[in-house]
């Protein structure tokens, strides 16, 4: 795609509403990602967008010890909108509907959940940032992931 067409496609996506978003609009999340901080680590592996879904497995640890894991899928919810559906440590699934989308960003929110209430992913080149917070943005925690081969 030439640069002018890419810019136009990005501008169109920026104006797309969350209700109109397609799973392919989130394809930039796919791949293997790792966040390191000293001995602590988080890995997320996102599948390609296909069949109206994306799947991910996340695991968090320190050294060689696993501390937590999560199964994640993005698919259409009951309201027809894409939703981030997480099952932390294999527990019950919690849905966070898509509330904002950009060319390389997506925000999902569930104000009825205890914490987090908002989950945001942003990608820039070979880095992806994930931020969780309360609905108003307070108590935020951010991790920067680097693409793994």
* Pick among 2.40.128.20, 1.20.140.10, 3.30.450.30, 1.10.3210.10: CATH of 3-148: 2.40.128.20
Beta bridge partners of 85: 73, 95
Give pTM, 2 decimals.
Answer: 0.88
pLDDT tens-digit map of 71-113: 999 999 989 999 999 999 999 999 999 999 999 999 999 999 9
- Residue partners of 96: CB distance under 8 A and separation at least 6: 83, 84, 85, 86, 108, 109, 110, 113, 118, 119
Q: How confident is the model at residue 7 (pLDDT cuts 50, 70, 90)?
A: very low
């Amino acid at each position: 795609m030439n640069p002018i067409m890419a810019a136009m496609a990005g501008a169109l996506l920026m104006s797309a509403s969350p209700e109109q978003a397609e799973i392919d609009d989130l394809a930039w999340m796919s791949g293997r990602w790792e966040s390191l901080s000293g001995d602590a680590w988080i890995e997320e592996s996102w599948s390609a967008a296909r069949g109206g879904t994306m799947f991910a497995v996340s695991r968090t640890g320190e050294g060689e010890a696993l501390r937590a894991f999560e199964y994640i899928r993005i698919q259409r919810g009951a309201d027809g909108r894409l939703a981030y559906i997480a099952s932390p440590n294999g527990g019950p699934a919690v849905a966070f509907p898509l509330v904002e989308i950009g060319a390389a960003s997506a925000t999902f929110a569930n104000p009825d959940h205890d914490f987090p209430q908002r989950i945001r992913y942003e990608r820039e080149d070979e880095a992806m940032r994930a931020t969780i917070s309360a609905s108003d943005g307070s108590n935020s925690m951010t991790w920067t992931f680097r693409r793994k081969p």
